Amino acid sequence: MLKSTTGKPTMSPKTVVITGCSSGIGLALAVKLAKDQLKRFKVIATMRDLGKKKQLEDAARETLDNMLEIKELDVCSEDSICKCVNSIPGQKVDILVSNAGMGLIGPVECQSLDTMKMVFDTNFFGLTRLVKEILPDMKRRQKGHIVVMSSVMGIHGLLFNDVYAASKFAVEGFCESLAIQALKFNINISLIEPGPVITEFEAKLYEEAAKMDLSSTDEETAKMFRQLYLPYSKKVFHTLGQTAEDVAEHTVKVITAEKPPFRYQTNSLYTPLTTLKFADPTGNLHLDTYYKMIFQHDRIFNASLSLIKFLRGRSGNQPGRKHS
Ligand SMILES: NC(=O)c1ccc[n+]([C@@H]2O[C@H](COP(=O)([O-])OP(=O)(O)OC[C@H]3O[C@@H](n4cnc5c(N)ncnc54)[C@H](OP(=O)(O)O)[C@@H]3O)[C@@H](O)[C@H]2O)c1
């Protein structure tokens, strides 16, 4: 349980820059922070394409230009990041939420190196560009919090998510190293590690998967991807999946914590799976469990998912349910 610093409003609101606010978690978090009852946050909600700002404007209407401002920021462009930060009074960012990201699924032999580089450029180098721009000022002020949207796939790998998981592992290695230095300057770094979240992220992945040319792989792998992985993945998303609002709520807890955790998993249903990684340093427990779950005991796994779905339905804790 995180002890929060809530209770009294701060004199001046903290400036929070969030990337990737055109949809999903970034949008939900921007709205939640901007609507904070205690008005503790001034939110700079950024997106690379301002043509997509309507959904955020509609959701945050009463806070616009007061507690929330929408600005352009492409995490793949140093110029764009610099321009955005320079437009903030005193270039003072109290909290950075590095959220923008993209997924990639499929057999690795069917993915181009350009696509793989784009995933790293967004998920990993996007974070490093932001940190290079914002950390020096936080160090000067001896104050700040960098919150990074990682994933359970920053902890363990998953079938057909090779490059995406690698990009999140890179994020975790970078943050774990930097966090030690940051502490010396009184700056916290926190990794948020959601399991599946039902956002456009998932829809985009399946759209890409449907178009994917599988001719560069063998028949068995192509079949494994289309007939085993995709239906499994959809079932996992819809059984264990959280809403963007859920993840935003957890992220607010981390942002307002008296002592922010370095790692924070948002989905307790997923924790038994991530624990396998920490329980056995050889890595075999994780590999064996996933191998057996997918290729040998898939009926039991499917039945367990159906049971979880049923129980969540009965308790009203259904994935996709929005919080008010
Ligand atoms: N959904 C999940 O299951 C899940 C699970 C664990 C972790 N995560 C992580 O959560 C984060 C948010 O994902 P989400 O689920 O909210 O997905 P989403 O709805 O697809 O949102 C991703 C956001 O990132 C933005 N983005 C992509 N490339 C960008 C760039 N170069 N510069 C600036 N913004 C860029 C997208 O903007 P455009 O609209 O312009 O593309 C969009 O606003 C990601 O880091 C993702 O890896 C997601």
How many residues make up the chain in this entry? 324
With a cut of 70, say whether residue 288 has pLDDT above it: yes
pLDDT of res. 53: 97
Cα 10 to Cα 5, 44, 94, 227, distances in angstroms: 10, 18, 13, 54
pLDDT of res. 158: 94
**Residue 236's pLDDT band (boundaries 50, 70, 90)?**
confident
With a cut of 90, say whether residue 281 has pLDDT above it: yes
Give a yes or no: residue 164 inside a domain.
yes
* Nearest protein CA to atom 20 of ligand 1, as residue: 201
Lowest mean pLDDT among 84-88, 264-268, 313-317: 313-317
Known binder of ligand: residue 20? Answer: yes
Question: What is the tally of structural domains in the chain?
Answer: 1
Give a yes or no: residue 51 inside a domain.
yes
* Nearest protein CA to atom 37 of ligand 1, as residue: 20
| Cβ of 202 below 6 Å from ligand 1 | yes
Give a yes or no: residue 4 inside a domain.
no
CATH number at residue 102: 3.40.50.720
Q: What is the CA radius of gyration of the chain?
A: 20
| Cβ of 75 below 6 Å from ligand 1 | yes
- Sheet order of strands, 187-193 included: 68-72, 41-47, 14-18, 95-98, 144-149, 187-193, 263-265
pLDDT of res. 323: 38
pLDDT of res. 59: 96
Give a yes or no: residue 304 inside a domain.
no
With a cut of 50, say whether residue 324 has pLDDT above it: no
**Strand duo 95-98 + 68-72: pairing:** unpaired
With a cut of 80, say whether residue 117 has pLDDT above it: yes
Give a yes or no: residue 288 inside a domain.
no
Q: Each residue of 165-193: pLDDT tens digit? A: 999 999 999 999 999 999 999 999 999 99
Task: Please tell me the distance from the alpha carbon of residue 279 to that of residue 165, in angstroms, as a whole number.
Answer: 20
| Average per-residue pLDDT for the chain | 91
Domain span at 258: 14-215+241-270
For residues 7 and 226, which has the higher predicted lDDT (pLDDT)?
226
